[in-house]
C-alpha cells in the first residue's frame, strides 16, 4: 500500500531528503486539507482537486524546497501552505590544505556537510579531515561526479593556490547551478586567474559569479580565522544577506526565524 503524501513527506524529511508538501488551508468548500507532495525530481503524488491549482502549487514547491523555507501562497481563491524540507547544504572545498581542515571543522559544527577534494592522495586523507562528509582524491571533473554533481544547494570553495587545479575546478563550478563559488588568493592572483579563464573561453557573466578573494573582510589571520571569514560569507549568501555588522543595521529582522 502506497503511503499518503503527508506520510511520505515525513519519511523524506526523516531521511534528510528534499521535497515540499502543499496543503490547502483556505478556499472552496470541500477542498480544505487536500495535499500534494512534490519531490526533488519534480514528480508528484496526491491532489489539490484541479490541474491548475496543482501546477501552481508544484511551481511554488519547486522554488521553496530549494530556497529552503516554508510559506503560504495565494492562488486565485485558494490559500496554500507549502512546507519544505531539505538536507543540510553542501560545502565543497577543493584543496587538501590547512585552511580546509579548519573550514571542514567549522562547517560541520554549523550543521553543513563539508566535502574535501584534491587529486593529491597523500594529502586528501580521512585522517586529516575527520569532519568531512567525504574526502575525494580526484581531479575536479571526477570529484564532482563522485559527490553527486553540483546542485543549487552546493557551495564551492577553491583553496589550493594551484592554477592547474583552481582553473579546472572553477571552470566546472562557475558553469553549474552552484549557489556560491569562491576562490582564495590575493587581488593580483585574482587578476591573473581571471585573464587565464577568459582566455580559456569563460564569459564575463560566468566570471562575475566568482567571489574572490573569498570570505568577508574580518582581518582574519591563520586557518581558523580564515575559516570563520569564509563560513561567514557562505552563510550570508545562503540567507541573502550582505554580511555587514548588525550594529550598523537599521530596521528589519536581525535573525531569521524558522517557519
Among residues of the chain, what percentage have pLDDT more than 70?
95
Homologous superfamily of domain range 90-238: NAD(P)-binding Rossmann-like Domain (3.40.50.720)
pLDDT tens, position by position, 4-46? 899 999 999 999 999 999 999 998 877 889 999 999 999 999 9
**pLDDT one-digit tens code per residue, 100-150:** 999 999 999 999 999 999 999 999 999 999 999 999 999 999 999 999 999
For the chain, give every domain's residue range.
5-85, 90-238
Burial class (CB in 10 A: 0-12, 13-18, 19+), 209: middle
Quick one: average pLDDT of 158-187? 92
- What residues form DSSP beta bridges with 80? 24, 73
Report the half-sphere exposure of 53 (CA within 13 A, side-chain side). Answer: 26
User: What pLDDT is stored for residue 1 in this prediction?
Assistant: 41
Measure the CA angle with vertex 116, ends 110 and 120; round to 5°: 155
pLDDT at res. 192: 92
Unique residue bearing C-alpha cell 563560513: 231
Alpha-carbon gap, residue 76 to 82, rounded angstroms:
16
Classify strands 35-39 and 44-46 as parallel, antiparallel or unpaired: antiparallel
| Cα–Cα nearest to 231, from 109, 131, 123, 96 | 109
pTM for the full predicted model = 0.85
Amino acid at each position: 500500500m502506497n503511503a499518503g503524501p503527508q506520510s511520505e513527506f515525513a519519511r523524506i524529511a526523516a531521511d534528510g531528503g528534499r521535497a515540499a508538501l502543499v496543503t490547502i488551508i483556505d478556499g472552496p468548500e470541500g477542498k480544505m486539507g487536500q495535499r500534494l507532495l512534490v519531490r526533488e525530481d519534480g514528480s508528484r503524488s496526491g491532489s489539490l482537486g484541479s490541474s491548475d491549482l496543482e501546477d501552481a502549487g508544484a511551481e511554488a514547491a519547486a522554488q521553496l524546497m530549494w530556497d529552503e523555507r516554508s510559506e503560504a501562497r495565494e492562488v486565485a481563491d485558494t490559500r496554500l501552505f507549502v512546507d519544505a524540507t531539505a538536507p543540510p547544504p553542501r560545502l565543497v572545498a577543493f584543496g587538501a590544505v590547512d585552511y580546509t581542515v579548519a573550514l571542514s571543522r567549522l562547517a560541520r559544527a554549523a550543521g553543513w556537510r563539508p566535502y574535501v577534494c584534491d587529486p593529491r592522495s597523500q594529502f586528501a586523507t580521512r585522517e586529516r579531515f575527520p569532519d568531512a562528509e567525504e574526502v575525494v582524491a580526484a581531479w575536479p571533473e571526477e570529484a564532482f561526479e563522485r559527490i553527486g554533481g553540483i546542485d543549487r544547494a552546493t557551495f564551492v570553495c577553491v583553496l589550493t593556490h594551484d592554477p592547474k587545479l583552481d582553473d579546472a575546478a572553477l571552470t566546472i563550478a562557475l558553469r553549474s547551478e552552484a549557489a556560491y563559488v569562491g576562490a582564495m588568493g590575493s587581488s593580483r592572483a585574482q587578476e591573473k586567474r581571471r585573464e587565464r579563464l577568459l582566455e580559456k573561453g569563460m564569459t564575463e557573466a560566468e566570471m562575475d559569479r566568482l567571489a574572490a578573494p573569498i570570505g568577508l573582510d574580518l582581518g582574519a589571520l591563520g586557518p581558523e580565522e580564515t575559516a570563520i571569514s569564509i563560513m561567514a560569507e557562505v552563510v550570508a549568501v545562503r540567507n541573502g544577506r550582505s554580511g555587514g555588522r548588525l550594529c550598523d543595521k537599521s530596521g528589519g529582522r536581525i535573525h531569521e526565524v524558522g517557519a
